[in-house]
Structure 1
Amino acid sequence: MIISSLDNLNVDIELLTPQVHENMAIIPLKTAKNYNIDLLTLEKGIELGLVNVKECEQSQVNTLIVENRSVTPLILIDGEEVVGGDQNRIVSETIIIAPRSSMKIPVNCSEQGRWAYKKEFMHSDYIANYKTRRAKEFARRKNHSVQHTVWSSIHDVEKDYSFASPTSALSESYDNLRKNHNEIVKSFEIAKGQNGVLVIVDGEIKGFEVFLNSDIYKQFHEKIIKSYLIDSKLGDSVFAVNVDEAENVIKNATDSSFEKKETKGLEESYEFENDSGLGVISLYENEIIHWSYFKKTEELSNDEILDAELESEI
C-alpha cells in the first residue's frame, strides 16, 4: 500500500529557536498536537518491573522475547539498546507490544565479541549511533546483511576514536566518551513543548526525529544528541543555521510517497525516500508515534564496503 502524502495526518511542525555548540546545532521541533496516547517506554517498563527482556529458548542473535506485563501498550524505538543476556542488542524497528502479552522482536547485535550469558537484560543509556541506524536502514532496503552492516559501523566508531572494546560493544565506545558528551549535551536544552529534534553538523542537516509527545521525547533527548555526537568531530568551524533549509527538508519528507511495511506489533509503519533522504514513520491509532529521517550520503554503505572486501578475498 502506498499513500501519496501525510496530509491526512495533519502534520504541522514548528521549528523553535536553534541551539549551537561549536560546529553542531540542533533545531527543536514541536508538533501542533501533543498526542496523549498512553504508551509505556521500554526504559520505564524495565525500571518499574513491568517489562522483561530475555533470550529465546534457544538463543538467536537477531531475536529476543519481550514480555509486557503492563495494562498499557509498550513502545520500543528503533535503535534503542538493551545490555546483558548473551550479547547486547539494539531494537531493529519501532514496535508497539500489546498490554499483558509477550512477543518475539527483531534485534541486531551491538556487541560482536561475546556470546555468553552475562546478566539479565537492562536498558542501556544509549541508542545506536546515527550512522549505524542510517546504514542499517539502507542495508535493509537493499537486502544486504543488516547485521554485518551494524558490526562494521561499530568497528568504524572504534577506529575513529582509537578505542577498542574487548567485545566490540557499542555501549563501551559511548562510555569511553561519556564525560565529554555529558558536558556537551548540557548545551542543548529541551525547549517547552519540544517533541522532536533536527540535527546539523558543519552546516549540513544530518537527520531529524519526532515523537508522539514531549514526555516521551524527554526520555530520548540526550540519547539522540549523543548518537550524533559520537559520529561528529567537533571543532571551531562557524556556520549560519539555515532554518529555511530545515523547513524544506521536513516539507520534502512530508510530501514523499509512503510505502506500508510489514509490522510485528500494533503499529502501522511506512517507509519513505526522496532525493535527499529516507526514513520511516510509525503510527498508532492513526497518530504519529515516531518519525525518523536520515540524510542520504554518496559514500558507500558499510555493507557495500564489506561485500566488496569479501569479493576481493575470493
Structure 2
Amino acid sequence: MLVPAGATLEIPVTCLEQGRWGSRREFSSGEVMAPRRVRRTKQDAVAARLATVGGRAAERHSDQGAVWHSVDLELDRMGVSSPSRAMADGDAYLERDTRRSAAVADLVGKGPLPGQCGVVVAHGRRIVAADLFATPDLLRPHWPALVRSHLLERPTSDGHHSAGRALRFIGRLAGATSERREGLGHGIEHHVRTDRIVGQALVLPTACIHAAAFAR
C-alpha cells in the first residue's frame, strides 16, 4: 500500500492471534512475516470476495475464521504451544532448532544480494511462493522477515529446483486474469485467484511496486 502524504485511510486488517482480546500481551512488531500458507489463505479470500463485490476498504477483508484456522495448522505443524494461538509464537520453533536458526542468520546476513529485488521459494522441484519488489531498496527492509517466515516451514516436495520453473511461476502470475481495483492509496491493485496460483500486485503506471504469489 502506498499512502498519499497527509492522507487518513481506512485499512482492512487480518488478525493472526485468535485469543488476542482475552490476552494481556502488549502489541509489538514481529520479526517474522506470516508463513506463505497463511498469506495464501488471506489473499485467496480477499480475491474471492472482490470477484463478487466492489472494492471499498470495507469489502477487502479476508475470511478471518479461515485465517485463524490456517494459523492453528501452522502452529500444530511446528509443535508450538500458544495460549492465545498467536502466529508470532512460531518464533519458538526457530529458537529450539539451532540448525534452522543458524540457517536463518546466515541467509539474513548474506542478503539481499546486489541488485536483488525479489525472492522465489522452491520446495525441491516445486515453486511454492514469490515476492517481487520494484527495487532492491524496497526488498531490503522485508528481507529478514521473509527469510524467517519461509524457514519456519519444512519442505513439502523434493527434487531439483530450476530457474526455468521459477520464471514460469512468475509468468503464471503475470499472465493470469485479475480482479483490478483502485488501490486504497496510490496505484492499482491486481488480485489473482486461479486453480494453480493465488496472488496480488500493486502497480503504478511505471512500475510494479510489489507482487506476491502462492502456489495452491
- The verdict on a shared fold, with TM-score over 0.5 as the criterion, is yes
Q: Aligned residues, how many?
A: 200
Structure with more of its chain in helix, by fraction: 2
Could you list the per-position Cα deviations for residues 193-236 of structure 1 after superposition, in whole angstroms to 9, with x for gaps in the alignment?
101010001321101110121122111112112222223259xx
Query: By how many angstroms is 1:288 displaced?
Result: 1.0
| 1:244 pairs with 2:150 | no
Q: Structure 2 regions of 5+ residues with no counterpart?
A: 50-60
Query: By how many angstroms is 1:279 displaced?
Result: 1.0
2:210 to 290, 308, 311: 290
Task: Tell me which residue corresponds to 1:194.
Answer: 116
TM-score with structure 2 setting the length: 0.80
CA distance in 2, matches of 1:147, 1:185: 29
Query: By how many angstroms is 1:285 displaced?
Result: 4.9
Distance 1:287 1:253, change over 3 A: same
1:264 to 154, 165, 184: 184
- Residue pairs, 1:1-314, within 5 angstroms: 95-115=1-21, 121-143=27-49, 146-178=63-95, 180=97, 181-188=100-107, 189-190=110-111, 191-233=113-155, 239-274=159-194, 276-296=196-216
Query: Do 1:253 and 1:274's aligned partners in 2 also have CA atoms closer than 8 Å?
Result: no
Larger radius of gyration, structure 1 or 2? Answer: 1
CA RMSD of aligned residues (A): 2.6
Could you list the per-position Cα deviations for residues 131-190 of structure 1 after superposition, in whole angstroms to 9, with x for gaps in the alignment?
001111222334496101111011112211222111111111224424644311244332
% identity of equivalent residues: 24
TM-score with structure 1 setting the length: 0.57
Task: Indicate the structure whose relative CO is greater, using CA pairs within 8 Å and at least 6 residues apart.
Answer: 2
CA distance in 2, matches of 1:206, 1:116: 35
CA distance in 1, matches of 2:162, 2:116: 19
Structure with more of its chain in strand, by fraction: 1
CA distance in 2, matches of 1:238, 1:205: 11
